[in-house]
Structure 1
C-alpha cells in the first residue's frame, strides 16, 4: 500500500510503508504530518500509520579491517651493540639490512633497503680488493675509493631509514616518533632497534589496556 503525505497544503509521495518508516526515522516526515492512501477516508496523522511498527535500521557499512603490520626483528638493542663490537662494526651493516627489509614490508615506499645492500656490496668489494692486494703484494688504489662510496651509502641508508620510520609511524599508525639526527649518525641500527622495540612495547600496553578496559 502506498501513502501520500500532506503538509502545509503541499502533497508528497506516494511512499511505501518502508519508505515512510525510513523518512520518519530520518526526520524528513513528521509523526504529525497527515497521510492518506487508497481505501482510506480522511487523512490521518502519520503516527497512526506507523504506530508501534519498529523503524528498520540501515545496515552499517562494514568497517575496513585493521592493518596488522609485522613486528620488527626481536633483538635487544644491547645485543646489537655487543655483536657490532665483536665484529668490528660489520654486524651493524648486516643488521641494517635486516631492519630495512622489515621496514620495506611496513612502508613499501622506503628505499633504505637498497642503500644498505649497496653498502654491504661495497664492504664485500673492499674485502675482496684487500685480499687481492695481499696476494699481489701491493696496495690497490681502488680500496680508498670504494671505502668512500661505502661511507656515503651508509649515511644515505641511515637517514633514509630514519625518514621512512618517522613518516610511517607519525602519519600512518599515528604513533609519535622523532629520531635524533646525531644518534642516527653515530649509532644507526642500534638506535633504530631501541625505538622499534619501544614501539612494540607501547603497542602491547595499549592492547592490554583495551582488553582489561
Structure 2
C-alpha cells in the first residue's frame, strides 16, 4: 500500500484517518459521508470537497505529514489542534456513535418488573420515554401523539364501559358498546405507535451502519418490552461499537410459552381432579334420591319385621318414577336398594352402572352399606361406600 492511498476525512468539525483509498471508496458508495465532508491526502495543497477526492496525487515520502487545517461549520481546525493518530476513530461508525443520542437502556426485564410492582403505572410512563428518544432521531415521529391518544381513549373507554354496566341493571345503556369501541381504539393506536417507532428506528439507524432488525410479529405481541430490548442493544452499540450479541427476542417468546406450558401442566392435574369431582357429585345424586327409599324401607321393616319386596309394598312410586338428572331408577327388591345410572346425562364412567345399598340390622337399627354388587368404581363412591 503506497502513501498515495492514505486519505484523511474532515467531517462535522473533526479529522479522521488516514484510511485506505479502497475503504473510502466503499464508504462513499454506501453513502456514509455528510454532504459537507472534506478530504485530503499527501500531495494536495488543501482540503477539498468529497467530489474532488481523487483529483490530486503525489508521492515520495514514507510517512504522510499531518493534514493541513481546514474550516468546517464556521470553525478552523489546524494540524496541531489534536492528534489524529491518537484520537481519530478507527472506522466511520464512531462518528455516528458519538452523535447518536443515548437511548433508555433499562433492561426489558426490569421494565416488566417495575410495571408489575407499580400495578401498571410504570407501563404507562415508559412508552413515552421510548417515544421521546425516537423523536430525537426522527423529528417527524408521531409516536408520542399516538400514545397520548391511545391512553386517553383507554381512560374514557373504561369510564363509558363501566358506566354502561351499571346502567344495564336499570334498563340498559349504549355506553357499554361505546366504551368497548374506545378500548379497541386504544389497542390500535398503541400498536400503531410502536410500529411507527420501529419504522423511525429502521429509517434512521440502518443508514449509519446499525443493522436494526425488529420483527413485526414479536413487536405486535411484546411491543414495549421487545422495543426496549432493541433500545438496550443500541445503547450497547453506542458504548462499545459492537453489535453482538443481538437484541433478545427468543426469550420473550419463552416468557409467552412458559406460562402456557405451566397452564398445561396445571390443567393436566386439575382436569382429572375436576372430572372425579363431577362424577362423585353425580353419584351423590343417587344417594340423595335413595334417602327417601331408605326411610320407607326402614318403616316397613320396623312395622313388619321383614324387608319390603318392592317399591309398591314400601309405599314408594315405581322405580322408574324415582329419577334425577343422572339417575334412571331407584328400585327396592331382594332386600336391597339399587340405584341405576344409565341416563344420557351421567358421566360415561358411571353410565349403565349401579349402586347397591344393603341394610344391616344392628340393635334394632338399620345401617346401610354398598355391597359387592355395586358396579360404580370404588374411587367414585362416597367414602362410606368404598371397599
Q: Same fold (TM over 0.5)?
A: yes
SS of the residue aligned with 2:72? coil
SS of the residue aligned with 2:129? helix
Note if 1:97 corresponds to 2:128.
Answer: yes
CA distance in 2, matches of 1:26, 1:111: 47
**Shift in CA distance, 201/100, structure 1 to aligned 2, threshold 3 Å:** same
CA distance in 1, matches of 2:69, 2:100: 29
Note if 1:162 corresponds to 2:160.
Answer: no
**Shift in CA distance, 62/129, structure 1 to aligned 2, threshold 3 Å:** same
Q: Using CA pairs under 8 Å that are at least 6 residues apart, name the structure with larger relative contact order, 1 or 2.
A: 1
**Shift in CA distance, 167/144, structure 1 to aligned 2, threshold 3 Å:** same
Q: CA deviation at 1:91?
A: 4.3
Q: CA deviation at 1:191?
A: 0.7
**Shift in CA distance, 129/87, structure 1 to aligned 2, threshold 3 Å:** farther
Match of 1:191 in 2: 226
Residues 162-192 of structure 1: CA deviation (Å, up to 9, x unaligned): 1011111112x32111100111101111011
Residue of structure 2 aligned with 1:120, choices 151, 164, 168 = 151
Asked whether the equivalents of residues 100 and 238 of structure 2 are also in contact (C-alpha less than 8 Å), the reply is no
**Shift in CA distance, 64/112, structure 1 to aligned 2, threshold 3 Å:** farther
**Shift in CA distance, 142/26, structure 1 to aligned 2, threshold 3 Å:** closer
Select between 59-68 and 183-192 the one with higher mean Cα deviation.
59-68
Residues 98-120 of structure 1: CA deviation (Å, up to 9, x unaligned): 21022112211212121111111
Residue of structure 2 aligned with 1:202, choices 237, 248, 259 = 237
For this pair of structures, how many residues does the alignment match?
153
SS of the residue aligned with 1:151? helix
Match of 2:114 in 1: 83
Q: More strand by proportion, 1 or 2?
A: 2
SS of the residue aligned with 1:61? strand
SS of the residue aligned with 1:178? coil
**Equivalences for residues 1-213 of structure 1 within 5 A:** 59-62=69-72, 68-86=99-117, 91-130=122-161, 132-133=163-164, 136=167, 140=175, 141-171=177-207, 173-206=208-241
SS of the residue aligned with 1:97? helix
Gaps of 5+ in 1: 1-24, 28-56, 208-213
Report the TM-score, using the length of structure 2 for normalisation: 0.35
* Greater Cα radius of gyration, structure 1 or 2: 2
Asked whether the equivalents of residues 93 and 116 of structure 1 are also in contact (C-alpha less than 8 Å), the reply is no
Asked whether the equivalents of residues 146 and 189 of structure 2 are also in contact (C-alpha less than 8 Å), the reply is yes
CA distance in 2, matches of 1:64, 1:182: 47
Q: More helix by proportion, 1 or 2?
A: 1
SS of the residue aligned with 2:182? helix
Q: CA deviation at 1:130?
A: 4.1
**Shift in CA distance, 95/106, structure 1 to aligned 2, threshold 3 Å:** same
Asked whether the equivalents of residues 191 and 223 of structure 2 are also in contact (C-alpha less than 8 Å), the reply is no
Gaps of 5+ in 2: 1-42, 46-66, 76-94, 243-387
